Amino acid sequence: MSDEPKREITVEQALQMAVALHRHDELARAEEIYVDILTHLPNEPATLNLLGILRFEQGRCDEALHYIARSVEIRPEEAGPWLNLSNVLLETGEFDEAAKVLQRVIDLEPGNIDAYNNLGVLHGRRREFGLAEKCLRLAIERDPNNVFTLYNLGNLCFQTGRHREAIEYCSRAMGMDPKNSHSREVLCAALIADGQSERGKEILQDWLAAEPDNPRALHLLASAGFSAPPPRASDGYIQQTFDSFAASFDSKLGSLGYRGPQFVADALTELGPRLPRDGVVLDAGCGTGLCASLLRPLGKRLEGVDLSAGMLERAKSRGAYDALYLAELSAFLQEGRDRYDIVASADTLIYFGELESVFAGLQLSLRDGGVLAATLEALADDQVDHVLTISGRYAHSAAYLGRLVEQSGMQMTSLTKKVIRREGGEDVDGWVFTAVKPMRAT
């Protein structure tokens, strides 16, 4: 057996290997090579950029910004890393900085299609729909077959209630990339909104023929009314949906005019002396932690629970929580007796149809005198408990909510209808309510 010396490879060769691994989603192996290169060459700009992209894909946005910013500082003349930097800034809601960076890309490459696409997305999330459309159409003029721009324009049309145009652009996007789930979802919703339910059904059935166990496709089939609705959204649907856009969750909700966290915080404040002080607060379905800054002042300890690991990673980065738990909400609540003084839940119960298990858990986990504050989407028909809507979320009637509160031994203290968000060009009404668990007689 010969003792052959190890073959040395160049940085360029190592980087090529890492990029190939990265493209095939072998992220751990790619990361190992990127980190090894930077250990020896801390300022290698291409590697800094690529490790930043990988960190962004992992949902570690602060690290992504750090690495890509170092890359553009070293080689400011390259448009690509600047564009990657804009992606991270855009997805984390840093719109002003993203706009400056995108202008830098356009200065370097005046015809850069991706820069105009990103500007379109940026303006859309700012609800500047006219500017968003202008940028997206400029990108499509330069490249009529760009899947991302076609989808983004289709989604913009859907959000502004222009269903026929949404169908046109999402159909074109699907023609270029038939497996693009985002285009499929918006196309189905637009077809159904336009009265073309059978076409929407065909698209969902084709999706399930290719991926029979896909939780998103199964849930969408039910929400479109083509199969029986489940009692709640499946764990797989929640995890797949929210893990996939944890990084962009905050900015996307901002584009929908979403105000759930503020409504919940306001409802708690309005309880005045009935609100427990200096206790333990649970952010139930905490997501990325949008409620954290509003709930932190209300107790001596703030905890969060969510079913999405990606969301919890973002929540952890806020540094506001004393503890975070990865768990299904109703099961989690039923594990802890007399643990919480306040339970706050913004836009989480909308993924449950039947809420009996959740309220049974609340009855156990709330201390005497404890308070629940939450939002639901509003169902006007009091003869129906709940329905699964085309959005994939459940709407509940006030009568059903009232029965749940009473059956759980709590007392309703407020119930208000408010516009929770806008979707498909229309307002979405919701319930904002509070309930108190009475003190037990001694």
Please report the pLDDT score of residue 96 as a whole number. 93
Q: What is the pLDDT of residues 114-170, one digit of tens each?
A: 999 999 999 998 889 999 999 999 999 999 999 999 999 999 999 999 999 999 999
Q: What is the mean pLDDT of residues 314-332?
A: 93
Whether the predicted pLDDT of 417 surpasses 70: yes
- By three-state DSSP, how is residue 68 classified? helix
Q: In Å, what is the CA distance from 8 to each residue of 11, 14, 28?
A: 10, 10, 22
- Please give the mean pLDDT across all residues of the chain: 91
Q: Give the mean model confidence (pLDDT) for residues 101-105.
A: 96
Average pLDDT over residues 270-287: 94
Residue 64's pLDDT band (cuts 50, 70, 90)? very high
Question: Which one-letter DSSP state was computed for residue 308?
Answer: -
In 272-329, which ranges are E strands? 279-284, 299-306, 323-326
- CA angle centred on 331, ends 329 and 337, rounded to 5°: 100
- Confidence at 2, pLDDT banded by 50, 70, 90: very low
Average pLDDT over residues 43-65: 91
What's this model's pTM, rounded to 2 decimal places? Answer: 0.80
Query: For position 245, what pLDDT does the model report?
Result: 61
CB 414 within 8 A of CB 263: no
Chain centroid, CA 233 distance in Å = 15
Quick one: pLDDT at residue 250?
46
pLDDT tens-digit series, residues 234-268? 999 999 888 876 554 444 444 455 788 999 999 99
Task: Work out whether strand 299-306 and strand 394-397 pair parallel, antiparallel, or are unpaired.
Answer: unpaired
Q: Give the pLDDT score at 180.
A: 84
The predicted pLDDT at position 336 comes to: 79
Whether pLDDT at 65 is above 60: yes
Span 353-360, average pLDDT: 97
Q: CA angle, corner 6, sides to 3 and 8, nearest 5?
A: 155
Q: Residue 290 in 3-state DSSP? A: coil
